[in-house]
Structure 1
Amino acid sequence: MPEITVVKVERVAGEQGQAGRVVHIERPEEWAACPECGVISTSVRQRRTTRPRDLPYGEEALHVRWHKRQFACKEALCSRKAFTESVAEIPPRARVTGRLCRAAARRVASGASVAAACREYRLGWPLTHRHFTALADAVLAEPEPVEVLGIDETRRGRARWRKNADGSWDKLERFETNFVDLSGTGGLLGQAAGRTGSAVEGWLDARGQAWKSAVQVVAIDPATCYRTAIRRALPHATIVVDHFHLIALANKAVTAVRQRVTRDQRGRRGRSVDPEWANRRRLLRARENLSQRAFTTMWNALIDHEPTGQILTAWIAKEDLRSLLACARQQQPRSVISHRLFRFFSWCAGSDIPELISLAETIEQWWPETLAFITTGITNARTEGTNRLIKDAARVAFGFRNLANQRRRVRLACTHQTINPAA
């Protein structure tokens, strides 16, 4: 602290037999200005010693003793007769230094809970949270326009119910729609309550027309409500569906076929002695990630013990879909994309399996957005990573009761902002 001078440092026996250090400080100037009228005074009425807590330093305990002076105001018209000197880091009646409070705020901003920062720096919860709020509000600002926008939802805690006056119950909204910058370093741009199209439209409309005009591509999961809202709010933007969720739909179709075939043939759920149950993990794994031995084991077991062939048919359909989506990574021409799309549709239509027909219908409904992914290669992976950071922040805090505090915490945790630890 530049306004403070260290007089001496003593080593004393601390609590529980641990040695500690006592630092005696004082203000070097022999004068002080009255905070009420601003008149300089050199008349000292008395001296006091306070014990403000400061940042820890080293392995031993550090204690501060500030020898303060009380000055008498000589201005006759001033209503204040006396005042005690102070500095910016230790304002009047302060028991902790400003840099200690800022360090606790940065500790919370780095991912720790408010309670953990309080235990580390021996501060109260309201004081630590107040300084963290000031730090977060100074760092976070209105999001800048982005070119590629990612939209996804996360659940905010467990489901909660509210009882009405007439005795009925309403389920409270526990989902948040997240807006993420996929083209720059903006990170989490903001959140909106609910996972509905109106929530997306309301958040985008609040940004203004200039902000919306800058968005060129929007990446989403296969959610119809989001697609409808984007077409209304951003009619000029290209919508891209995330390929991970399309492959997940194919894996669910394979699982549904396997479970249905097992129930029809055996009249029960699958067991470890059933070949289709023993190979359930191999059925969901990518073909290139299967060794030749594992693939041969799965294929022969299902050929020998599953006479309908529906499980392998569903597995082939899943691999055909993966081959179609791989065109984005392989940068295949449109002729190859059309060929693989026809092969997938014809295989699902010729199988006469309800689960595969439903899968093909879903791909057909989302084909413009799927083709946009294949041609652009844009995914929602960063949005999914942001969802994980949001959940981690909630776990660290053991949940949030205040929605404003939650949004502040998760946005600071998910935004690529550099917080100077020496500030």
Structure 2
Amino acid sequence: MRTTTALRRAAGAAVCDGSRTVVQAGRDLHLSWPIVQRCFEDYAATVQPQTPPETPAIGIDETRRGKPVWKQNPATQKWELLADAWHIGFVDAVGGQGLFGQVGGRNATSVADWLSSQPASWRAQARYVAIDLCSTFRAAVPRALPHAAVVVDCFHIVQLAQRHLADLRRRLTWRQHGRRARKGDGIYTVRKLLRRNKEDLTEDQHSLLKTELEYMGTYGRQIYAAWQAKELLRDLLGPAVSRTHVTPDRSAVSAARHRFLAHVADHAHLPELIILAATVDQWWDGIETYLTTAITNAPSEGNNRLIKLEARNAFGFRNRANQRLRSRCATTRRSRREAHPH
């Protein structure tokens, strides 16, 4: 069928800017799926920049795309990976400009190759790279951006402390009871309080936490010591400029770090705390950069949510290139709307 320029543009804008699926846009405009898809691709090519906009901070994170695709090599009879199940996304960590691009394969080579393929001016502007506790991403950054500093996201540091605390609680509960905690056990009563922040506990809740763990005996005191270590780690992250709006004093940061490490040293018989302290030391440069810059990887997590929502609305994607284009349009929709409000 013949279509006008205005109709083709409306079809492309409905998918790219209006967050409609291709099927929904086709029903609304009485067009077939292939026509709307071509209109969307043409429209996206006009509104999406050819190169990513410059930014001082980049966020890197992975999101699962689906199942990996394998193919058997007829010559060697070995199965070879054609498409990885993971997509690595590169986003603007401070400017809200959305997703810059995606690449398949969760490995350092894929990350370094994508960063190296960008213009030299873009790479020169990137001074920080925000990541989670992924050694793969950390290894890739110096290869492509040797001048950039790695920033460790504070959420994942606290999440790691919570995970080690939960592992220790379960281990000691099994050692004391020979089973999982159940209703009526002291540790069962306070299991959720252990995940709470110290400042969010009332006096009665804090008293209940101490009383129940003290009643457990040695194992309870060890669990309480692990909870204190988690809170000391949070105190270490507390002076970040994002919370105080003042660059933290190095002596205050050093004192907080010493208190945490000293507490762990006093409880060196708890392997979970030793592993936590070793991880903090291993990633200390990135943690210290977070304290002075307040850059986090939250934009990457937010974009991952939009990417998954786009895939759910479309009931999944078969074409990976189409999925990356749809994902980029979905994550840059807000920034394009703010740049052109009318």
* Same fold flag (TM > 0.5): yes
Structure (1/2) with the larger helix percentage = 2
Matched residue of 2:58: which SS?
A: strand
Contact 1:106-1:421 within 8 A present in 2 as well? no
Q: Can you give the 5+ residue segments of structure 1 that lack an aligned partner in the other structure? A: 1-92
Matched residue of 1:321: which SS?
A: helix
Q: Deviations over 1:163-185 (max 9, x none)?
A: 44466545541111111112324
Q: Which residue of 2 aligns with 1:235?
A: 146
Amino acid in the other structure paired with 1:103:
A
Contact 1:143-1:186 within 8 A present in 2 as well? no
Q: Which residue of 2 aligns with 1:128?
A: 36
Matched residue of 2:218: which SS?
A: coil
Give the aligned length. Answer: 330
The answer to whether 1:418 aligns with 2:337 is yes
The answer to whether 1:354 aligns with 2:268 is no
Q: Which residue of 1 aligns with 2:58?
A: 149
Q: After superposing the two structures, state which structure 1 stretch, 282-291 or 403-412, moved more.
A: 282-291
Deviation, 1:225, is 1.5
Contact 1:275-1:302 within 8 A present in 2 as well? yes
Deviation, 1:161, is 4.3
Q: Can you give the 5+ residue segments of structure 2 that lack an aligned partner in the other structure? A: none
Q: Which residue of 1 aligns with 2:226?
A: 314
Q: Alpha carbon RMSD of aligned pairs, Å?
A: 2.2
The answer to whether 1:387 aligns with 2:304 is yes
Matched residue of 1:135: which SS?
A: helix
Q: Which residue of 1 aligns with 2:48?
A: 140
Change (3 A) 1:102 1:347: same
Q: What TM-score do the two structures reach when normalised by structure 1?
A: 0.73
Deviation, 1:270, is 2.2
Q: How does 1:149-298 map to 2 (within 5 A)?
A: 149-165=58-74, 168-170=78-80, 172-298=83-209
Contact 2:67-2:84 within 8 A present in 1 as well? no
Deviation, 1:369, is 0.9
Q: After superposing the two structures, state which structure 1 stretch, 128-137 or 244-253, moved more.
A: 128-137
Matched residue of 1:231: which SS?
A: helix
Deviation, 1:307, is 3.1
The answer to whether 1:99 aligns with 2:6 is yes
Contact 1:221-1:241 within 8 A present in 2 as well? yes
Q: Which residue of 2 aligns with 1:5?
A: none
Q: After superposing the two structures, state which structure 1 stretch, 156-165 or 263-272, moved more.
A: 156-165
Deviation, 1:294, is 2.4
Contact 2:11-2:25 within 8 A present in 1 as well? yes
Deviation, 1:391, is 1.0
Q: Distance in 1 between matches of 2:41 and 2:313?
A: 17
Q: Distance in 2 between matches of 1:419 and 1:121?
A: 26
Q: Distance in 2 between matches of 1:163 and 1:272?
A: 52
Identity %: 41
Amino acid in the other structure paired with 1:363:
V
Contact 2:173-2:179 within 8 A present in 1 as well? yes
Contact 1:262-1:268 within 8 A present in 2 as well? yes
Q: Distance in 2 between matches of 1:324 and 1:167?
A: 54
Q: How does 1:32-47 map to 2 (within 5 A)?
A: none
Matched residue of 1:177: which SS?
A: strand
Structure (1/2) with the larger strand percentage = 1
Q: Distance in 2 between matches of 1:215 and 1:113?
A: 34
Change (3 A) 1:271 1:229: same
Q: What TM-score do the two structures reach when normalised by structure 2?
A: 0.90
Amino acid in the other structure paired with 1:144:
P
Deviation, 1:221, is 0.8
RCO higher in structure (CA 8 A, sep ≥6): 2
Q: Distance in 2 between matches of 1:100 and 1:210?
A: 38
The answer to whether 1:334 aligns with 2:253 is no
